């Protein structure tokens, strides 16, 4: 079921030195399911051999049979949930990638996107490399295999110095687990501890909470952490230090509200987004409702700041899968109605403020506004808790081509008319930064402003370029 929202590429989870490593990795992936629903996988190590189980589908389906975990023995494991941004949605692209090469076995799980993947792949193929997947992650494996240095840490560093873009990586060998976050720190990655001797790495802290691991700290941009067989933890910063540019959209939409990322609790930030939105775009209204689930904290903040009551005017069906069969008889707005249903008793005869986190193509917002009107709303005022999304992301978020982003070619007034709202207000970029409130952090805001912190190599074809490529030739 796609409501035309952006999708994160994936989430990663790893645990080192625990008797129930694969079971805990399953739980960690379950907590990270919001970061990717296409496929998932786990690779475990028993100290001498790596074992893998990965499939298309949701975590509960792929690992729903307890017999699966008998095939994943060992005290260390890494896992991955995926929504494809680089590479097709097919079985061969399910992560973690596991390979055998001259120095042993290794598995890799990757969250992010490499902007120089095409150039590197062409170079590697020219020297005889044969690729089994269409993912940019496999390029890291090939670079690792041809690295000339001796230690695993040095080979990883040598490989990663060749790549450009976003990456949170987990490597697993027979005896070690290694975590790396790119110098820009685009995606979140945190370190936890379970008991006295088990280390945990996860994309978000909510995965630590589920297994009752202690949140130790966020892994820093440009940091590599090595979990050794003696239980020790080694931290190093092998890359050239730059000013980090974490993705601000993680706060707006992607991260779970109970997670702690980039120094802040996501729920509290989203409430403040709503408060700031109310300060910037006041309106006379009777009720504030949210487009669930990601719009709920912002709607609560908007209601608190404006003094307009908050109600659950749209109810979400949480049991809708990724696909469904449409009835032969036409039902207007069926794609939205199967997931969201308005509460007429809340909306009828009311002036309604609808809070959402973003507008992508505009088609879903249009259907929601019309659905709220059909439930009897007298006025519908749409408020968005982020600036207009006018540019695609190349750092691990699956956004459409720029020409499909409605705000790239339409004014706010035109968008308002298209979605048939009585008024439309987007949170300003200044209001967004003020609400996040992390001092001395230069967030990546490329999806709003088009200022990409990692340049694209030339020549390169990026599938989402669209209008951007034409305008910047």
Residue 253's nearest CA partner among 270, 268, 265 is 270
DSSP-derived 3-state class of residue 395: coil
CB atoms within 10 A of CB 231: 12
41 in Cβ contact with 94 (< 8 Å): yes
Token pair for 236? 């190093």
- Where does residue 444 rank: exposed (0-12), middle (13-18), buried (19+ CB within 10 A)? buried
- Mark whether 10 is an active-site residue: yes
Nearest to 444 by CA among 435, 433, 457: 433
CB atoms within 10 A of CB 56: 16
Contact by Cβ (8 Å): 15, 25:
yes
- At 185, list the tokens: 């720190």
Residue 192 contacts residue 201 (beta carbons within 8 Å):
yes
Q: Which two structure tokens, joined as six digits, stand for 192? A: 């936890």
Burial 139-166 (b: 16+ CB within 10 A, else e): bbbbbbbebeeeebbebbbbbbeebbbb
- Set 10, 247, 416, 447: catalytic member: 10
Closest CA to 202 of 220, 211, 183, 189: 189
Supply the residues annotated as catalytic. 10
């Amino acid at each position: 079921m796609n409501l035309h929202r952006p999708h994160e590429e994936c989430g990663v989870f790893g645990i080192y030195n625990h008797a129930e490593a694969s079971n805990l990795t399953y739980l960690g992936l379950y907590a990270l399911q919001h970061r990717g629903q296409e496929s998932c996988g786990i690779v475990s190590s028993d100290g001498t051999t790596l074992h893998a189980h990965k499939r298309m589908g949701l975590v509960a389906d792929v690992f729903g049979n307890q017999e699966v975990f008998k095939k994943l023995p060992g005290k260390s494991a890494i896992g991955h949930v995926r929504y494809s941004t680089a590479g097709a949605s097919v079985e061969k692209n399910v992560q973690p990638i596991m390979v055998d090469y001259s120095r042993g076995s290794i598995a890799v799980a990757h969250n992010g996107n490499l902007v120089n993947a095409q150039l590197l792949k062409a170079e590697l193929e020219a020297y005889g490399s044969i690729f089994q997947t269409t993912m940019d992650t496999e390029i890291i494996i090939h670079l690792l295999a041809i690295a000339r240095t001796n230690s695993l840490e040095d080979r990883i560093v040598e490989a990663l110095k060749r790549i450009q873009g976003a990456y949170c990586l987990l490597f697993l060998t027979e005896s070690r687990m290694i975590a790396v976050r790119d110098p820009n720190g685009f995606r979140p990655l945190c370190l936890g501890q379970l008991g006295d001797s088990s280390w945990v790495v996860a994309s978000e802290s909510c995965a630590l909470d589920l297994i009752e691991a202690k949140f130790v700290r966020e892994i820093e941009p440009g940091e590599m952490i090595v979990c050794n067989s003696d239980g020790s933890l080694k931290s190093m910063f092998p890359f050239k230090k730059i000013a980090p540019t974490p993705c601000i959209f993680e706060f707006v939409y992607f991260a779970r509200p109970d997670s702690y990322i980039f120094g802040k609790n996501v729920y509290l930030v989203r409430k403040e987004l709503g408060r700031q939105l109310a300060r910037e775009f006041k309106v006379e209204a009777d009720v504030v409702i949210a487009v669930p689930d990601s719009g709920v904290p912002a709607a609560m903040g908007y209601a608190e700041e404006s003094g307009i009551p908050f109600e659950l005017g749209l109810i979400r069906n949480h049991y809708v899968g990724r696909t469904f069969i449409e009835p032969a008889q036409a039902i207007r707005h069926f794609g939205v109605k199967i997931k969201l249903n308005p509460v007429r008793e809340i909306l009828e005869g009311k002036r309604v403020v609808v809070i959402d986190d973003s507008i992508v193509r505009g088609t879903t917002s249009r259907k929601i506004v019309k659905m709220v009107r059909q439930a009897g709303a007298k006025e519908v005022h749409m408020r968005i808790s982020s600036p207009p999304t006018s540019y695609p992301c190349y750092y691990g978020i699956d956004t459409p081509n720029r020409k499909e982003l409605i705000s790239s070619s339409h004014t706010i007034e035109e968008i308002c008319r298209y979605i048939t709202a009585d008024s439309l207000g987007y949170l300003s970029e200044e209001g967004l930064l003020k609400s996040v409130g992390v001092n001395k952090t230069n967030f990546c805001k490329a999806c709003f402003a088009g200022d990409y912190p990692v340049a694209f190599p030339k020549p390169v074809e990026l599938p989402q370029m669209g209008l951007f490529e034409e305008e910047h030739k």
